[in-house]
Structure 1
Amino acid sequence: MSALEHLGRHDSWEAVRAVVVGVGVSGFAAADNLLHVGAHVRVLAESATPAQLEQAHLLEVLGADVRIGPGATSADALPDDVQLVVTSPGVPPTAPLLAAAYARGLPVWGEVELAWRLRDPEHPGTWLCVTGTNGKTTTVQMLAAILAAAGVSHVTCGNVGLPIVEAVMDPTPYDVYAVELSSFQLHYTHTMAAGAAAVLNVAEDHLDWYTGPHGMADYAADKGRIYERVSTACIYNVADPVTEQLVRDADVEEGARAIGFTLGTPGVGMVGLVEDVLADRAFIEDRASTAAELCTIADLASPAPHYVANALAAAALARSYGVPAAAVRDGLSAFRPDGHRIAEVALVDGVRYVDDSKATNPHAARSSLQAYDPVVWVAGGLAKGAGFDDLVTAVRDRLRGVVLLGRDRGVIADALARHAPDVRVIEVDDGDTSVMDRVVGAAADLAQPGDTVLLAPGCASMDMFANYGARGDAFAESVHRLRDR
């Protein structure tokens, strides 16, 4: 067994020679804290932004050997004396340097794994962890709002908020770490043992990263790693059998319970809906015959089904920690989602315009579309290898029309032609005038009073916009110009 297995926060890492791959948020945090505990650190990256170059210089001042440029992460760049590789989450295991590390039998960690090993043994706190194809950030933020309402010392971290290694190394420890984890982060996590964990859903995504013959199965398996060694509750989506199977497959601590969340009436050991009430039949003594009211749908910022499902998952995580029902109600009623998540932009000529630019894959777009009827759907961008046949089949009866933009709009157009041939489709090409102005204008032509024009692209944004936020902003600005003309 490697000596690394026994090293923790208060041990000396002076004998450890580590390579950190990447200088983004995660890579910088990993390198910074490895230096803090005394390790010899080399940072390797193919490129860096100006802001990342400034951070790289800081790491050099602290003692790191930083090498940035083409070829810096080639297989030959792996030092002979390295004992540990800590990689940024976006780097796939097939990358040459990581493949070389695996071939040598070296441990390859992510920043989350490093954070778990650097917890304060006297005040480790409880990790309440969330993953899923969609809804992770909103659910973690809902959980944080509930914990705040309950007066629990907490921090949001991982894929949202602070890098988790920075959170655990804070001199003032937290009672709860509300942790958002991507499949990429989980892939490189090996010993984490959450108090409770939730997989919200598993749908086709990131197949440009999971490129092997069993890409979807590998993606789901990485999501399922969040359940390993859980001590209190594994929370799954009753409507998504994959998430329940991941619980069944996990090796958990004795006494850990499987807790379902559902938009239907909850059975024993579940949280769900009783008419318009979010109800708990999992974390009460008399759950066989009664339920505890957590809040009502009217208390939430949106009645959209996927938003309610996220609230139920957040409530289950909080209840697993012992948060009272009143704090669940207070936290959820006070919470407002970040921008570009089912955000109403304006009402123009009786048509509602909604920005859900954060719906960056087909599963998210489907969840959003199912909250509106009839709807003019605005979609397109970078599909990342995903298909749209199941989505179109599920929502075709509520589509008034579709407006498509972006590089992979043809993938969606083909699915519509196969499964919704009677739905009118307008494709908007790039041009000199504002693409989004023409998209919104086309959607307005298709819409009738009482309809919703919904930006739920089902695709990433980077073919035309800096990020999903910039895409949503462009949509909102175009809607406002339409309203004001």
Structure 2
Amino acid sequence: MSGPDRLATLTHRDADWAGLRVLVAGLGVSGFAAADALLERGAHVLVVDAQEPAGGSVLAERARILEILGADLRHGEDAVSGLPGQPLDLVVTSPGWRPDQPLLAAAAAAGVPVWGEVELAWRMRPATGAAPWLTVTGTNGKTTTVQMLTAMLRAAGLRATSAGNVGTPLLEVVMDPDPYDVVAVELSSFQLHWSHSIVPRASACLNIAPDHVDWHGSLEEYARAKGKVYAGTEVACVYNVQDPATRRLVEEADVREGCRAVGFTLGTPGLSEVGLVEDVLADRAFVAERATSAAELGTLEDLRGGPDAPPPAPHLLANALAAAALARAHGVPPAAVRQGLRDFVPEPHRIADAGVVRGVRWVDDSKATNPHAAAASLAAYEHVVWVAGGLLKGADVEDLVAGAAGRLRGVVLIGRDRAALAQALSRHAPDVPVVEVSRTDTGAMDAVVEQSLALAHEGDVVLLAPAAASMDMFANYGARGDAFCEAVRRLGRE
């Protein structure tokens, strides 16, 4: 048996993988995991990567290990410019490789199937007793939601972990000798594009906003990739009541018989929804008498992280409700959902409280690297001095600025593309004072903090929510957030 017929039989790790001729595209974390798993199953593996591994580098170490295991490795631009001169049954690609990349385009033209690492991981699960997947995608909020969900699952006594786009390759999780009970899976639009046969226990798309359009070719294709998260879902497709695009994706999805649509909302929940009743997170989807009653899943106090912490931002609350819906779809009791909310610790640079200095609250949301994320962050505060700017990557900021104008006490702009933000502010918020910091050296954040303090009134929030990537000034968004917090600490010591 060969070709598509053979691939159709590869639905679990104990299937006949031996002798399968596979090209693995990319030697990153996911590519290494894919090659390792395939070699273990007896496949013939060729790994290609455009980058030549430097001596002593992580890439070189991965290459050395795979060569010992029996892989063939080829490096350099020629290695990724087209298909090799040998028969192939399958290409497994790293998620960041675009469909128009020459090697992948050649595979498509030659009729060679292309899977992503996530697709391979699904097919590498055990034949029986495999841990169900609870899958999450969306333009923003994926990681926070998946980590909240994991906390809820663990509070219910389940051996659970988060994996996928959140950091740990799914192949590492499914091949773990100590099996998990359930996996919370974060999926990017790239990963979903290359996935074909995943059957989640429950799934969620948190929101849809323009992002990665250059990779997908259009907003419609980007949304279509996100919608694949719902395909095949068994129990519940969770959607955002405030984002009708997510409901449309559910309506268009081909799901298992009996699968339900469950909404999450920041308002009072209707039937088959989870939402907010005053300060209570309420479930009217997974209770027997949902027509007349609801289950209490927690309160805002459970989510805020302590009596001295600020109230949870609206998008953090939305993430909590989505996570709760997924947990409830998996049978997690309300008490464990509440405990999960209490146990959850946000990752750095996601609406992170940097303290109160000189009567002003400072908030680090450096992870807000696109306009949609920045808009959600700004909506959490009544009076804001906004620190914004960086690499906009062609993103449109008109709606962002227009929507935030009424909250802005002042704006401090940084980064290469700050002029686009300045122009939008002049159109939509002409009375708001704007300061541009042109410095790009390591001391730039001290100037940003000083200018922000000058614009703020007592009780205001200074919010770093750049709406842009960081690489024009910093190694990554984490380094940008660290620089902001360190500058705030220095201000507090003056």
Q: TM-score, normalised by structure 1?
A: 0.97
- Preserved contact between residue 440 and residue 473 of structure 2 (Cα < 8 Å): no
The reply on whether 1:196 has 2:202 as its aligned counterpart is yes
The reply on whether 1:401 has 2:410 as its aligned counterpart is yes
**Equivalent residue number for residue 243 of structure 2:** 240
Per the alignment, in what secondary structure is the counterpart of residue 64 of structure 2?
A: helix
Aligned residues: 481
1:431 shift after superposition: 4.7
- Preserved contact between residue 20 and residue 86 of structure 1 (Cα < 8 Å): yes
| Residue in structure 2 matching 1:40, options 15, 40, 44 | 44
Alpha-carbon distance in 2 for matches of 1:427, 1:62? 54
Alpha-carbon distance in 1 for matches of 2:85, 2:245? 41
Per the alignment, in what secondary structure is the counterpart of residue 2 of structure 1?
A: helix
| Residue in structure 1 matching 2:339, options 330, 334, 347 | 330
1:305-454 correspondence runs (5 A):
305-432=314-441, 434-454=443-463
**Equivalent residue number for residue 100 of structure 2:** 94
Q: CA distance change for structure 1 residues 432 and 337 in 2, over 3 Å: closer, same or farther? A: closer
Q: CA distance change for structure 1 residues 432 and 283 in 2, over 3 Å: closer, same or farther? A: closer
1:87 shift after superposition: 0.5
1:31-180 correspondence runs (5 A):
31-47=35-51, 48=53, 50-75=57-82, 77-180=83-186
Q: TM-score, normalised by structure 2?
A: 0.95
Per the alignment, in what secondary structure is the counterpart of residue 476 of structure 1?
A: helix
Per the alignment, in what secondary structure is the counterpart of residue 399 of structure 2?
A: helix
Alpha-carbon distance in 2 for matches of 1:419, 1:305? 24
- What are the superposed Cα offsets for residues 398-439 of structure 1, whole Å, 9 maximum, x if unpaired? 001111111222222222122212211111113556111111
Amino acid in structure 1 at the alignment position of 2:157: G
Alpha-carbon distance in 2 for matches of 1:167, 1:44? 24
**Equivalent residue number for residue 262 of structure 2:** 259
Contiguous gaps of at least 5 residues in structure 1: none
**Equivalent residue number for residue 15 of structure 2:** 11
Alpha-carbon distance in 2 for matches of 1:410, 1:184? 30
1:151 shift after superposition: 0.2
Per the alignment, in what secondary structure is the counterpart of residue 214 of structure 2?
A: coil
Per the alignment, in what secondary structure is the counterpart of residue 42 of structure 1?
A: strand
Per the alignment, in what secondary structure is the counterpart of residue 308 of structure 1?
A: helix
Q: CA distance change for structure 1 residues 433 and 109 in 2, over 3 Å: closer, same or farther? A: closer
Alpha-carbon distance in 1 for matches of 2:220, 2:441? 43
Bigger Cα displacement from structure 2, 272-281 vs 409-418: 409-418
Alpha-carbon distance in 1 for matches of 2:121, 2:441? 48
The reply on whether 1:274 has 2:277 as its aligned counterpart is yes
**Equivalent residue number for residue 481 of structure 1:** 490
Alpha-carbon distance in 2 for matches of 1:190, 1:322? 26
Q: CA distance change for structure 1 residues 79 and 410 in 2, over 3 Å: closer, same or farther? A: farther
Amino acid in structure 1 at the alignment position of 2:367: K
Q: CA distance change for structure 1 residues 262 and 218 in 2, over 3 Å: closer, same or farther? A: same
- Preserved contact between residue 415 and residue 440 of structure 2 (Cα < 8 Å): no
1:142 shift after superposition: 0.4
Runs of 4+ off more than 4 Å: none
1:98 shift after superposition: 0.5
1:72 shift after superposition: 2.1
- What are the superposed Cα offsets for residues 125-172 of structure 1, whole Å, 9 maximum, x if unpaired? 211010001110010000010011100121211112420011111122
Alpha-carbon distance in 2 for matches of 1:221, 1:411? 29
Contiguous gaps of at least 5 residues in structure 2: 305-310
Alpha-carbon distance in 2 for matches of 1:17, 1:430? 53
The reply on whether 1:294 has 2:297 as its aligned counterpart is yes
Alpha-carbon distance in 1 for matches of 2:19, 2:27? 23
1:90 shift after superposition: 0.7
Identity, % of aligned pairs? 61
Alpha-carbon distance in 2 for matches of 1:418, 1:137? 34
Alpha-carbon distance in 1 for matches of 2:142, 2:150? 12
Q: CA distance change for structure 1 residues 476 and 68 in 2, over 3 Å: closer, same or farther? A: same
Amino acid in structure 2 at the alignment position of 1:379: A
RMSD between aligned alpha carbons?
A: 1.2
- What are the superposed Cα offsets for residues 348-387 of structure 1, whole Å, 9 maximum, x if unpaired? 1111111011111111101110111210111111212211
